[in-house]
Structure 1
Amino acid sequence: MKNQWLEKESKRWVEEEVIDSQQRKAILNLYPAKNNTSIFFTFAFMLFSLAVLTFLASNWTDIYPLIRTTLLLGFLIVFYYLGTRWIEDGKRLIGEVSYLIALLLFGFSIFLIGEMYHYHFNSIFAFLVWSFVALLLYLSYSSRWIWAAGVLIIVVGQMVNLFGLREFSWILFILFVLAYGLILYARNIRWMAIVYSIAFFIQILGLSAEKLSLVWVTFFLISLYFIGKLIGSTEVGKVLHSLAPVYMFLFVVFHVLFISGDFQFYEELNVVYFVVHIFLMSLIILYLYMKKEIFSIVQLVIFIPTFVIPEASDYVASVALFIFSVSHLMEGFKFKNQRHMNFGTATFLISTFVVYSKVAWGYLSQSLFFLVAGVILFVIGYLLNRQQKMYIEEGGERNDS
């Protein structure tokens, strides 16, 4: 489409004597037409690869171990070689797909070869090697999809290790934080930061639930928030310090609805957690105060461990939810920021529904419960929407991003 537009416009420029025909030809040569048929070859290659892998899987037991090993290593080398050649020829998409298939085959080879020769790999060791090879592959060719594949391998490895062996690999986590984190910082791409934060949240949830205690989720998330603030001028920093409170908000909602009555949860609290958490909170408050980010200080209420009072934890957490949402609304209204208004409205409605569910579920019939809840949320939503429109009409900047 862009090439057609350029051809049409450049022809008009020649007619208007803005440029001559030779200049038009030189300009068109700078933007050669792209060959969109490469995507068909990519999918054909993927289907061919799946056909080969499916055939091997269905006939795996009938193949001699030495032949199996040769086939695995052979296909691995072939896919890597093809990926390299295609990328050198400028066929980036199909080349990256070939690299990803080679990486997938490498991981399968670790487990399958170990099973064939009755060598039982420690599962986390296999994932550690796999993710390290993904890192090396990225360093040889810096594809964002190879980086994402490495992050996925780490998350899957941690979950298998946690829920299968009840162990958490700190080595794998350090590899994730340092190696993959530094790559993320260097690339500074928004969607990569979102993927990274989700992977971080999944890992710390698993670690806290299986090895430490769910209370440690607050520490890890506020650490992520602080890191995001420290590098706030980058796209990665903006994503991290924006999403960390969102994850914490969801965790507090989960706490109010499902954990508040579980007193075994509170027995796991320890002094180390409080010392570390209070120190980190104090450091962040001091940092935000020096930057005069008053609303950000108020919004830290979502990171306060509201479960310190077991008998009233759900009420304290509910108050934290409302303070957090109202502070976002006030920040949006003050700075005429539509994005903060929308986020504050959404969190306020969720907070209202959570508190209402906690209070009214056991006292009203289900039909009446949903009817009253709908009326309450509709009224609140109407009032907030009207307030937003008033601020926008007064000169507020519409920022829906």
Structure 2
Amino acid sequence: MNQELLKKESRKWVQEGIITEEQKDKILGLYPKRNGRVLLLLFASLFIGLGFLTFIASNWSLIPDLAKMTIILFFMLGFYLIGEHVYRNRTETVGICLIIIGLFVFGAGIFLTGQLYNYMYFAATPFVIWSVAGFCLFAIYQRAPLFAVAIFITTVGQLYSAAVYSSFNYWLFLLLVFAFGHFTYHHARYLYSYLFVTSFMIQSLVFTFLERFEYIWFVCFMLVIYFLSRVANEQSIKIPFYRIGVLSMFVWNIFHIFILNGTYFLSWEMEYNFVFLVVWFVLFGLILVEKIWRKSYEQLTEVVLFLPIFYFPFGDMIAMLALFIFSLGLLLNGYQVVDTKRIYHGTFAFLISTFIAYVQLAWAFLNKSLFFFIGGILLFTLSYLLERKRRQMKSENKEETTR
């Protein structure tokens, strides 16, 4: 059944008192959306928008100034107005895609107008304006494709600021945290949470790598994400925040295994160390208190990923040990609570940790052929042992259910 038509008709039924709002939601829930069509339309709108941008940019010098402004305003307003009409009277999905094309034309217009009047930007200001416009459109229509496109523009703008101007744009970061964060919290949808926390992680990386002394602060950013995953009430917020926070720190520790060589990797003045350590101790302590208060002792192994290993001598060994502790903790907890997903994730993390440790310790000492042979045999052996344990646990569960 046509989802858009059903939405429009059900609204009329509610207005006429035939059904209630709750009954309308239940009826719509019986007919799930066809996400494939939405994705095709979304990509179509993105390609059309990018096509317009590249076409105008490549032929910009051949067009008179007045015609340039006319083209930008005509197409921008045209896509907005047609999109609004289609959204209100026909198909919401197609209308949103037309509005997205208008948003891309607006972004192209910002850059091309600056070029027209020889205006030099010294910051990612065009992306700030573009992101605000995208957010405002999302606030008006509150549809997921607009949220995705707006947060994508915000993230790309931060990367652009770092690549071109070697600076972190605080306006884009504040827009992400307060504007997009507000809707992420209040709407509590998986898509919004994943997009928000992924953008937050990327912008945190940009912030921490632009200045040398700020590098250490990425751990604190991820501690905030992990802490929010612990205290959030909605599963649609808890799960994305937890996964992105833990995965980021898992990769972070792998990164440190290869760049640390048994000595202090970083050395700054004491005031930077002191401020960081105070913030880290507060965040780390809050997480420990929360886990102990909830009696989540089996999850204490996760916090080893958030240790400031760059301050310790032989930090590569500590990072390697942290990966093993986390992996084994996740694996054993999965077996304990009979959670298949945790078992699979723990198994994968343990295999990755073993492979990383093997590469780090054996690459310089073994013949390269022997290195690969032994590594393959080791991974096969580990895979066999873990699979045998999984089957043993599965058979034990079957026996318990049949009793």
- Category of TM-score, reference length = shorter chain: 0.7 to 0.9
- Whether contact under 8 Å (1:326, 1:344) holds in the other structure is yes
Give the letter aligned to residue 326 of structure 1: L
Give the letter aligned to residue 279 of structure 1: V
- 1:188-245 deviations in whole A, cap 9, x for unaligned? 2223322222212111111111124332211111110111111143312221023211
Pairwise mapping of residues 32-47 of structure 1 onto structure 2 (< 5 A)? none
Out of 252-261 and 347-356, give the one that drifted further: 252-261
User: Is 1:297 equivalent to 2:300 in the alignment?
Assistant: yes
Give, in angstroms, the shift of residue 51 of structure 1: 6.3
Distance of aligned partners of 1:49 and 1:362 in 2 relative to their CA distance in 1, 3 Å threshold: closer
Select which of 340, 343, 359 maps to 1:341: 343
User: Is 1:288 equivalent to 2:321 in the alignment?
Assistant: no
Give, in angstroms, the shift of residue 150 of structure 1: 1.2
Give, in angstroms, the shift of residue 164 of structure 1: 1.9
Give the letter aligned to residue 359 of structure 1: L
Matches of 1:90 and 1:273, distance apart in 2:
55
Give the letter aligned to residue 386 of structure 2: L
Q: Which has the larger radius of gyration?
A: 1
Matches of 2:216 and 2:45, distance apart in 1:
48
Q: Percent identity between the aligned chains?
A: 31
User: Is 1:83 equivalent to 2:86 in the alignment?
Assistant: no
Matches of 1:297 and 1:271, distance apart in 2:
25
Matches of 2:253 and 2:41, distance apart in 1:
48
Out of 131-140 and 387-396, give the one that drifted further: 387-396
Distance of aligned partners of 1:391 and 1:127 in 2 relative to their CA distance in 1, 3 Å threshold: same
Out of 183-192 and 76-85, give the one that drifted further: 183-192
Matches of 1:225 and 1:108, distance apart in 2:
37
Give the letter aligned to residue 303 of structure 1: F
Task: Indicate the residue corresponding to 1:111 in structure 2.
Answer: 111
Give the letter aligned to residue 391 of structure 2: K
Task: Indicate the residue corresponding to 1:384 in structure 2.
Answer: 386
- SS of corresponding position for 1:389: helix
Matches of 2:203 and 2:90, distance apart in 1:
37
Task: Indicate the residue corresponding to 1:62 in structure 2.
Answer: 62
Matches of 1:87 and 1:282, distance apart in 2:
50
Give, in angstroms, the shift of residue 134 of structure 1: 0.7
TM-score by length of 2: 0.84
Distance of aligned partners of 1:356 and 1:342 in 2 relative to their CA distance in 1, 3 Å threshold: same
- SS of corresponding position for 2:366: coil
Matches of 2:120 and 2:49, distance apart in 1:
28
Give, in angstroms, the shift of residue 53 of structure 1: 5.1
Task: Indicate the residue corresponding to 1:181 in structure 2.
Answer: 181
- 1:43-100 deviations in whole A, cap 9, x for unaligned? 9888776765555334211111121011101110000001101111231222111111
Give, in angstroms, the shift of residue 186 of structure 1: 2.4
Pairwise mapping of residues 232-381 of structure 1 onto structure 2 (< 5 A)? 232-260=233-261, 263=264, 265-267=266-268, 270-310=273-313, 312-381=314-383
Task: Indicate the residue corresponding to 1:71 in structure 2.
Answer: 71
Out of 376-385 and 116-125, give the one that drifted further: 116-125
Distance of aligned partners of 1:55 and 1:135 in 2 relative to their CA distance in 1, 3 Å threshold: closer
Matches of 1:384 and 1:112, distance apart in 2:
58
Give the letter aligned to residue 112 of structure 2: L
Task: Indicate the residue corresponding to 1:202 in structure 2.
Answer: 202
Give the letter aligned to residue 218 of structure 1: V
Measured on the aligned residues, the alpha-carbon RMSD in Å equals: 2.8
Matches of 2:384 and 2:77, distance apart in 1:
62
Matches of 2:175 and 2:260, distance apart in 1:
32
Q: In the comparison of the two structures, how many residue pairs are matched?
A: 367
